[in-house]
Amino acid sequence: MEPIIHFAPYTGWVYPNETVFEWSVLIAVYPYLTGLVAGAFTVSSLYQVFGFERLKPVAHLALLTSLSFMIFVPTPLLLHLGHPERAFNSTITPHLTSAMAMFGFFASFYVALLMLEGWFAYRPFIVEQAQKRTDLLGRFYRLLTLGSYDVSEHAMRFDRKWIFALAVIGIPAAHGLHGYVGFMYGSLKAREWWSSDLMPVIFLFSAIISGVSLLAVLYVVSCKLRKITVDLACLKGLAYTIWAFIMVALVLEGLEFANIVYKGREGVDMIMQYVTGPLLVPYFILQFAIGAITPLLWLSYMIWRGTTGKALVVGVTACACLVLFSVFMMRWNVVIGGQEISKTGKGLLNYHLPFFGKEGALVAIALTLAPLALLFGLTRLFPPWADDTTHAHS
């Protein structure tokens, strides 16, 4: 089902080949999912590589979250393609100068890295379950041991070295995976709204705050479901991370917008008409005022007052939800907003999102929630809670 497209009033004209939105809401969901992957892995690396001990309660949850969302990252692209069965052609016969073609290699490498690091991280637990259980799951765990049951201190030191090395490799891999999305948009000179050297960096920093925010929400919800006390030191660590990176993200987005206006290239008048008209609510109010500035001020107030207890839990969770909303709006405003401005800079279009159809809102919501269902299943097989597992390296 094709999206309904209307010409916005008072906006001039566009060429006939600009009246179709080639990239729908699924292409906005795609960078949103990759951002959650990069942000979640950042939290895991802060503990595994940089030794942030206060993040220990969410370190393994971050690893599982990153893997769950990474598995679903290609799905929006496959649904968007007219012939998804041909997607493997870009990997089998790649065009090495194409950013899109190289995604298959980056994604495959990163999935393998996450699975390998997860195997080392959970190996003591896998061995314990393989020796203890005699049911079907016991067979599953015995298969995962790969024939290695050695959990001695010497073996654990070896495992810790591998975890550290994989986490170090994973930092540029995760951030490069998402930075390339911003690179792809920033390199498209035909779209004034996209053509910016800051686009990869903006995507990267917004990815970090979205992934950290997701982990904050998941950690609080999991503690409530398991009826245990939230580790306030861990939650404060996540809050400080969100607070620091959201300031950088705001500065970068402000610089990008100021750069577009200051350069004053052809079409900037239409952009100003767009951001003060159709884009005023989704861009300035939803993305910035509600989704970014409000949580920044709220977190600043809690840090200044030294808020603790239930007020801290509620405040950080609410701020994290607002940040998740803000980052999705950023993806929407980039992907859809960039196409609502004609390439000539002379006219505007309106994109109306259908609810049903393979590129409708219902599918987009399902794709966003599907990784959470997978994450729930993985946490049942591999409990990420520090108080429930016997990970020798923790």
**Cα(146)–Cα(13) distance, integer angstroms:** 63
Residue 98 has pLDDT above 50, yes or no: yes
In a domain, 309, yes or no: yes
> Against a cut of 0.85, is the pTM above it?
yes
For the chain, the average pLDDT equals 85
Q: Residue 114: how many CB atoms within 10 A of its CB?
A: 24
Name the domain count of the chain: 1
In a domain, 393, yes or no: no
Lowest-pLDDT range of 168-177, 216-225, 290-299, 338-347: 338-347
Of the candidates 207, 183, 209, the one whose C-alpha atom is nearest the C-alpha of residue 31 is 207
In a domain, 392, yes or no: no
In a domain, 390, yes or no: no
- Is residue 298 within 8 Å of residue 314, measured between CB atoms? no
Q: What percent of the chain has pLDDT above 70?
A: 89
- Residue-wise pLDDT tens digits, 298-310: 999 999 998 888 9
- Residue-wise pLDDT tens digits, 310-332: 999 999 999 999 999 999 999 99
In a domain, 304, yes or no: yes
In a domain, 391, yes or no: no
**Cα(67)–Cα(163) distance, integer angstroms:** 15
In a domain, 371, yes or no: yes
**Cα(114)–Cα(102) distance, integer angstroms:** 19
Residue 29 has pLDDT above 60, yes or no: yes
- Residue-wise pLDDT tens digits, 103-116: 778 888 889 999 99
For residues 388-393, give the mean pLDDT. 41
Q: What is the CATH number of the domain that holds 305?
A: 1.20.1630.10
In a domain, 49, yes or no: yes
**Cα(40)–Cα(174) distance, integer angstroms:** 9
Residue 62 has pLDDT above 90, yes or no: yes
Q: What per-residue confidence (pLDDT) applies to 392?
A: 37
The residue with tokens 């801290």 is 312
Residue 270 has pLDDT above 70, yes or no: no
**Cα(252)–Cα(259) distance, integer angstroms:** 10
Q: 213 versus 260: which is more confidently predicted?
A: 213
Residue 77 makes CB contacts below 8 A (sequence gap 6+) with 26, 27, 30, 87
**Cα(288)–Cα(158) distance, integer angstroms:** 46
- For 293, the domain range is 4-381
Lowest-pLDDT range of 129-143, 146-160, 338-352: 338-352
